[in-house]
Amino acid sequence: MSQLDIQASKKARGAVLAARGKVMYTPSAISHEDCKAASVAYEAGDLLIDYLQQLEVDFIFGIPGGAIEPLYNALARSERKGGVKSIVTRHENGAAFAADGYARNSGKLGVCCATTGPGATNMITGVATAYENNIPLLVITAQTAVTNFGRKALQDSGDTGINTVGMYQFCTRYSTMITHLDQFERKLVTAIMTAFGPTPGPVHISVPLDIMRSKLEISKPSFNLKELLKKPVLIDDASVKELAEQLVSARAPVFVVGAGANESAAIIVKLAEALDAKIVTTPDGKGLVNPYHHLYRGVVGFAGHASAEQLLVDKNIDLIIAVGTSLGEWASSGWDTDVLLNNRLIHVESSEHNLTQSPMARLHVRGRLLAIFERLAADLRRQGIMFDAESNNELLDKRAVRLVPNKQAEPPLFDADDAMLHLSSEGLIKPQWLMAQITKKFAPHTKYLADAGNSFAWAIHYLHPFDRRQGQRRLREDCHIGRRNNFGGTFQAAIEYAPMGWAIASALGVALACKDTPIVCFTGDGSWLMSGLEITTAVQHSLPITYIILNDSALGMVKHGQRLGGAEQIAFELPEVNFSDMAKAVGANGYRVDSCQDFLALNFDQIA
């Protein structure tokens, strides 16, 4: 795309900051009897930890403070027993971002916490990001003691001060203050169940200091959260049957895969193969489909590929099945009625809210996406449409230019504008060249995150991670479809709310959720100056994260947006900073890359 060519960095000073290692953790339940044996009171904080243990949550991300000290006392008792562990981030916003990354990539509840007042308000942007992307988080904030409400207590954020419960009502599915001890268990369980509701998202409980440290009269949790969160597989048989009929009769169907389709992506690919249907992804669904698959035609929407848009506007395409996408501005090419939002559309969703964005669709299919597509596959198989459970890995390997450099290789079958073929390895680094080269430096199972700004655009358009294992696990006898844990995918970005710095801290949660998986975070110097100190959290916990800072001494998207829009050129300049020196100062490996030759000389195995 021409915009991306214009936005190529001129100075191209990249700093690669790396911290790598392993975090070993063995979960073990902490019980009331264990607490009594250690002569420790069973407090409300211990009860909260017990419920997180039920859900096999490993970490709480946050920053301690006086008003939330009882929760950290409970965490200390938990850690001694091998239970839920505290991860202290450098900013409360980073705690929410890290919990977001953990939830996306583990399938578990993300948990973050902050003390009262500024701690609680600092975390709101991260929570809002999870809200826009339907990420289940439990957000815990503190309050001053109930007895001090209305007395101008330090950092008062109750209803008589800075009302944080009211603030969180606009970016959570549930926000409440627990003002009496007998409310604690019921409201906590309600919050967690709501986080995993029909439209998942963050929930917020605010707990005054005296309530959190109060002693409970119960000896164990009253509710079994695992049982309560078990959901019957509800499928609208009539709509699934209608979907099957339309797929069978369609001349040229196309699947549009969004980030919400992570659990069902492998089955969707198999269905596409059986029907000879093309596949495109939304920007945030990019990491769920192997870009070298012979049916893949690229990304539709922001920073996408002309091949995807041309496919969708082709009048021969008579059916478009959009799965797991809100069809928001970036995913729908600015709500383009020629591309997606027309009566060729079938919208398959688990979120009722997302379905409200597609009133023009000819069919809405509601329910858990994995169950819908397993039922659909079984129905089509009964109609004689067969599914090949084995992927053609030889073909995929041939298309994986970066993994087989000594063989005659075929590029992806979309307008990838492969920078390796068009840009020289001489002189200054161009972002297109960098995105094409980076996947040669890391293992195929690496997860890539991109931050808001030009990092988004270049990674969405030019980065093509290869994952040979997609759709290769465990077969079902009824439909012969591979299933795998596809949480998060190989590429992730916070598309809907798009805050700067999200990827920097989210990478922490991704690394903790995906042990022994390399993580690469693309970010800009503007984002790094906002949130870059979270690298010290990565260093502290020896996490396998490589941060690549696209450093042009500017707020790049602002600068180029002003140029493209004919606006005044103002307020985009940033100081020149050697981020590799900053990395070394906090105990990470740091490298400054001024040229393509500098980058090619790097050995990332040695760096990490």
Report the amino acid identity of residue 170: F
Structure-token pair, residue 571: 């307020």
- 600 vs 398: which has the higher pLDDT: 600
The DSSP output letter for 215 is: B
| 447: three-class secondary structure by DSSP | strand
Evaluate if residue 60 carries a pLDDT over 90.
yes
CA separation for the pair 456, 334 (Å, rounded): 17
Beta strands in 115-261 (DSSP E): 137-143, 174-177, 203-208, 253-257
Evaluate if residue 16 carries a pLDDT over 60.
no
Nearest to 256, CA basis, from 231, 276, 282, 232: 282
Nearest to 551, CA basis, from 589, 586, 581, 510: 581
Half-sphere exposure of 304 (CA within 13 A, CB side): 29
Q: Are 532 and 500 in contact (CB under 8 A)?
A: no
Structure-token pair, residue 545: 């994260």
| 488: three-class secondary structure by DSSP | coil
- Chain-centroid distance of CA 452 in Å reads 13
Nearest to 429, CA basis, from 598, 602, 605: 598
442's CB contacts (< 8 A; 6+ apart) are 518, 520, 546, 604
Q: Are 92 and 83 in contact (CB under 8 A)?
A: no
Range with lowest mean pLDDT among 3-12, 57-66, 341-350: 3-12
Instruction: Print the SS3 string covering 248-304.
Output: HHCCCEEEEECHHHCCCHHHHHHHHHHHCCEEEECHHHHHHCCCCCCCEEEECCCCC
pLDDT tens for residues 519-567? Answer: 999 999 999 999 999 999 999 999 999 999 999 989 889 998 889 999 9
Report the amino acid identity of residue 124: I
| 105: three-class secondary structure by DSSP | helix
Q: Which range scores top for mean pLDDT: 101-105, 393-397, 437-441, 466-470?
A: 101-105
pLDDT tens for residues 491-511? Answer: 999 988 989 999 999 999 999
Sort strands 296-299 and 345-349 into parallel, antiparallel or unpaired.
Answer: unpaired
Using the structure block, give the residue that is written with the tokens 């409360």.
92
Average pLDDT value over all residues in the chain: 85
Range with lowest mean pLDDT among 66-75, 475-484, 514-523, 554-563: 475-484
Evaluate if residue 424 carries a pLDDT over 70.
no
Q: Which residues are 33's β-sheet partners?
A: none
Report pLDDT for 73.
Answer: 96
Evaluate if residue 349 carries a pLDDT over 60.
yes
- Read off the pLDDT of each residue in 233-237 and give the average, rounded to a whole number: 80
- Read off the pLDDT of each residue in 207-215 and give the average, rounded to a whole number: 93
Cα-Cα end-to-end distance for the chain:
34
Structure-token pair, residue 29: 């339940």
Element spanning 322, H or E: strand 319-323
Quote the pTM value: 0.87
- Read off the pLDDT of each residue in 424-431 and give the average, rounded to a whole number: 77
Compute the radius of gyration of the chain from its Cα atoms: 25
- Taking CA atoms, 153 is separated from 67, 114, 157, 167, in Å, by 11, 17, 9, 19
Using the structure block, give the residue that is written with the tokens 């996947």.
439
CA separation for the pair 54, 56 (Å, rounded): 6
Sort strands 447-450 and 519-524 into parallel, antiparallel or unpaired.
Answer: parallel
Structure-token pair, residue 597: 């030759």
Considering all CA atoms of the chain, what is the largest pairwise distance in Å, rounded to the nearest integer? 75
| 333: three-class secondary structure by DSSP | coil
- Taking CA atoms, 510 is separated from 108, 146, 449, 540, in Å, by 12, 37, 9, 16
Evaluate if residue 152 carries a pLDDT over 80.
no
Report pLDDT for 387.
Answer: 67
- Read off the pLDDT of each residue in 143-170 and give the average, rounded to a whole number: 84
Report pLDDT for 566.
Answer: 92
Report pLDDT for 253.
Answer: 97
93's CB contacts (< 8 A; 6+ apart) are 122, 123, 125, 126, 501, 505, 531
Q: Are 19 and 545 in contact (CB under 8 A)?
A: yes
- Taking CA atoms, 24 is separated from 58, 62, 513, in Å, by 11, 20, 12
Beta strands in 105-181 (DSSP E): 110-114, 137-143, 174-177
Q: How confident is the model at residue 471 (pLDDT cuts 50, 70, 90)?
A: very low
- Read off the pLDDT of each residue in 174-202 and give the average, rounded to a whole number: 95
CA separation for the pair 506, 497 (Å, rounded): 14
Q: Which residues are 590's β-sheet partners?
A: 17
CA separation for the pair 469, 290 (Å, rounded): 9
Element spanning 346, H or E: strand 345-349
Q: By CB neighbour count within 10 A (0-12 exposed, 13-18 middle, 19+ buried), where does 217 fall?
A: exposed
Report pLDDT for 500.
Answer: 95
Q: By CB neighbour count within 10 A (0-12 exposed, 13-18 middle, 19+ buried), where does 145 fall?
A: middle
Q: Are 476 and 483 in contact (CB under 8 A)?
A: yes
Structure-token pair, residue 38: 């250690």
Element spanning 19, H or E: strand 13-19
- 31 vs 414: which has the higher pLDDT: 414
Evaluate if residue 56 carries a pLDDT over 70.
yes
Evaluate if residue 28 carries a pLDDT over 80.
no
Evaluate if residue 433 carries a pLDDT over 50.
yes
